[in-house]
Structure 1
Amino acid sequence: MKVSPRHKARELAMQGIYSWQMTGNSVDQIELSIATSNDMKQVDVKFFQDILRTVMLRMDELDAAMKPYLGRLPEEIDAVEKAILRVAAFELVHRIDVPYKVVINEAIELAKSFGAADSHKFVNGVLDKAVKTLRKDERTK
């Protein structure tokens, strides 16, 4: 199955955010590491950079947008799930050109690929609640 350039961008951005969460390395170091260890011809590079850099720059804002819907303390969330939710929060808040259903579906797919056994259920539940507030205008159309 052919993977879309945007899906690949989300996947690599999520991995970069995870790496950043674990190491604290700079965005430039993480971006270089990802770019040199992946075939970037299959990636929407601009979208990848936008996700990675905006999440790192606006982490507190994005975390605050998701916090009411977590159902547990943020520090109790697995690092992979946190990275996936940060990517999704970025898209819900800053990329309204991406339909919320696409954001949720992509996040679920990332959770199925990289998260623990039932991570996709947790991610789906959080995002399903979050879009009711973050994308309420889109949901009423």
Structure 2
Amino acid sequence: MKPAARRNARHFALQAIYSWQLTKDNVADIEAQFLAADNYEEEEHQAEEPRLRQPETDVEYFRDLLSGVVLNYQELDSKMRPYLSRPLQDLDEMEHAILRLSMYELCKREDVPYKVVINEAIELAKRFGAEDSHKFVNGVLDKAVPTLRKK
């Protein structure tokens, strides 16, 4: 699978996780909404000319990330807690979603190199987080990696 396809999967998974955190809606409903919206956008983009098509999205990876985070969120929160500089409940919701996603990849997806996990988390934080979120996310993950993964 191309790296861009996984990047898109993370992008959509992060938004779906964020939505789940805020609404606590059924994860299957959230997944269906995102997949339906993705298909609609793809059809819409195909009709426009000229336009470059977005890279393909790894839908299976999207599903794994979303369901994995939702099923394991308590474990992921407890694994990240020692590396946080503030209480878990004080985290910005987007930072929390990014950290849950990244902790899931670090703990459950050993096929993904830890450097990729950290870099992707930083990029997500730059795009979706507050001004300095990427620094906070980077700091937490840098501290967690030696315990969670062998460098």
Question: Shorter-normalised TM-score: what interval?
Answer: over 0.9
Partner residue, 1:93: 107
Runs of 5+ unmatched residues, structure 2: 43-54
How much does 1:37 deviate?
A: 1.1
TM-score for both structures, normalised by structure 1:
0.93
Measure the CA separation in 2 of the matches of 1:70 and 1:38. 34
SS of the aligned residue for 1:43 comes to: coil
Aligned length: 136
Which of 76, 93, 98 is the matching residue for 1:79?
93
Partner residue, 1:23: 23
* Cα displacement string for residues 83-112 of structure 1 (whole angstroms, at most 9, x for unaligned residues): 000110000000011000000000000000
Measure the CA separation in 2 of the matches of 1:107 and 1:8. 13
- Identity among equivalent positions (%) equals 55
Larger CA Rg, structure 1 vs 2: 2
Partner residue, 1:9: 9
Measure the CA separation in 2 of the matches of 1:87 and 1:32. 19
- List structure 1 segments (4+ residues) > 6 angstroms apart after TM superposition: none
* Cα displacement string for residues 20-76 of structure 1 (whole angstroms, at most 9, x for unaligned residues): 000110111100110111247721011000000010001001111111001110000
Measure the CA separation in 2 of the matches of 1:71 and 1:102. 23
TM-score for both structures, normalised by structure 2:
0.87
Runs of 5+ unmatched residues, structure 1: none
Measure the CA separation in 2 of the matches of 1:42 and 1:36. 15
Letter of the 2:146 counterpart? K
RMSD: 1.5
Partner residue, 1:124: 138
Partner residue, 2:84: 70
